[in-house]
């Protein structure tokens, strides 16, 4: 039996449609976070998921993730909600990424919490669609899984001309 994609699993666990998840741009955020996690693992992180958290990640990692989410068009409240939804919170919510990684089913309380975060993303989605901030993808430049990291990673690399250490 093949494993569900993150979008399929999330829609099933939260009792929403994949279209509802697409409306809040969750798949590109998932791709972005996975890219950050894989890079942290490549560099030897003990817990690579830490790299996408807002509290435990290092300063450069937080700033880089923030810039990436801004380039996807997320406002400050949306960035907070998407971090809580996917990466977890200090209050004990493990985050959808960790739950998906272990193929866990959400409890009723976890589902309720995750749906509140999803609602926060929807609430701010109208403001985002009216703003001029964020990425615009035209029909001539289709989205691919590589898009978020290809265009964005260069903004998060240390400036070696100033003597920054190489990775």
Considering the domain boundaries, does residue 165 fall inside one? no
Considering the domain boundaries, does residue 162 fall inside one? no
Considering the domain boundaries, does residue 166 fall inside one? no
pTM: 0.68
Considering the domain boundaries, does residue 161 fall inside one? no
Give residue 142's domain range. Answer: 6-152
Reported confidence tier of residue 136, pLDDT bands at 50, 70, 90? very low
Q: 102-126 pLDDT, tens per residue? A: 999 999 999 999 999 999 888 755 4
Considering the domain boundaries, does residue 109 fall inside one? yes
Q: How many domains does the chain have?
A: 1
Nearest to 113 by CA among 143, 142, 91, 135: 91
Structure tokens, 135: 């990425």
- Virtual torsion, Cα 133, 9, 34, 42, nearest 10 deg: 180
Considering the domain boundaries, does residue 164 fall inside one? no
Considering the domain boundaries, does residue 157 fall inside one? no
């Amino acid at each position: 039996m093949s494993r569900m994609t993150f979008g399929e699993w999330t829609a099933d666990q939260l009792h929403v449609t994949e279209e509802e998840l697409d409306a809040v741009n969750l798949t590109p955020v998932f791709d972005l976070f996975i890219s950050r996690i894989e890079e942290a693992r490549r560099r030897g992180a003990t817990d690579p998921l830490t790299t996408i958290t807002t509290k435990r990640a290092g300063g450069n990692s937080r700033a880089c993730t923030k810039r990436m989410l801004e380039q996807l068009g997320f406002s400050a409240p949306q960035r907070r909600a998407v971090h809580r939804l996917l990466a977890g919170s200090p209050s004990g919510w493990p985050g959808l990424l960790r739950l998906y990684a272990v193929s866990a089913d959400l409890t009723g309380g976890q589902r309720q919490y995750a749906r509140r975060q999803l609602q926060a993303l929807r609430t701010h989605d109208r403001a985002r669609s009216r703003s001029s901030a964020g990425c615009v993808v035209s029909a001539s430049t289709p989205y691919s899984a590589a898009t978020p990291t290809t265009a964005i990673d260069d903004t998060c690399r240390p400036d070696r001309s100033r003597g920054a250490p190489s990775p």
